[in-house]
Amino acid sequence: MARMYSKARGKSGSKKPITQSNPAWQRYQPKEIELLAVKLAKAGKAPSQIGLYLRDAYGLPDVKTVTGKKLSQILKEKNVLPQLPEDICALIKKILNVTAHLEMNKHDEPAQRGLILTQSKLNRLIDYCKRTHKLPSDWKLDKTKLRMYVE
């Protein structure tokens, strides 16, 4: 994906496998995978961390090909999906880190610009999440309580 305020195109990412069928060597049943995902979510892992763990530790290439449902959909059905989407939490953490840096280095202008860009990205993401009903339409980001959102 291209960056919004520069000409850079970003890094290329990995691609999903072309085949949408369950691999023949796969030995786990959909119920087992759902139970593993819920167990990991209750342990405090984010959905992307759960997917990586299932891939690396259990050799599961894709949750959706085996279960027929996305990982976030499974977690939502079991009521263990975090209230805030993971990407919003990541941007809030980044804002907190840059703000802490700017308290010690008040004249760091590139960091100030980076903070402005990150805040605008967060606002765009919040608008998108409201449009797609991942967040309630009346949800507001309280700038004074940012630490509370990521803890």
What predicted TM-score, i.e. pTM, was given to this entire model?
0.79
Q: Contact 37/64 with Cβ under 8 angstroms?
A: no
pLDDT at 88: 93
Q: Contact 36/58 with Cβ under 8 angstroms?
A: yes
Would 3 be classed as within a structural domain?
no
Surface-to-core class of residue 71, CB atoms within 10 Å of its CB (0-12 exposed, 13-18 middle, 19+ buried): buried
**Does one domain contain both 61 and 97?**
no
Residue with token string 């309580």: 145
Question: What is the length of the chain?
Answer: 151
pLDDT at 2: 62
**Does one domain contain both 51 and 69?**
yes
Indicate the Cα dihedral angle 117, 120, 126, 131, nearest 10°.
Answer: -120
Number of domains in the chain: 2
**Does one domain contain both 122 and 102?**
yes
pLDDT at 17: 67
Six token digits for residue 41: 């979510």
Smallest CA-to-CA distance from 58 within 86, 23, 82 is with 23
pLDDT in tens, the chain (151 residues): 567 777 777 777 777 767 777 778 888 899 999 999 999 999 989 999 999 999 899 988 888 888 889 999 999 999 998 889 999 999 999 999 999 999 999 999 999 999 999 999 999 999 999 999 999 999 998 888 888 887 7
Domain with 48, as residue range(s), is 30-77
Between 47-58 and 30-42, two packed helices, what is the crossing angle to 10 degrees?
130
**Does one domain contain both 95 and 145?**
yes
Dist CA 26 CA 7 (whole Å)? 43
| Residue 15 burial (CB count, 10 A) | 6
Dist CA 83 CA 93 (whole Å)? 16
Would 1 be classed as within a structural domain?
no
**Does one domain contain both 94 and 139?**
yes
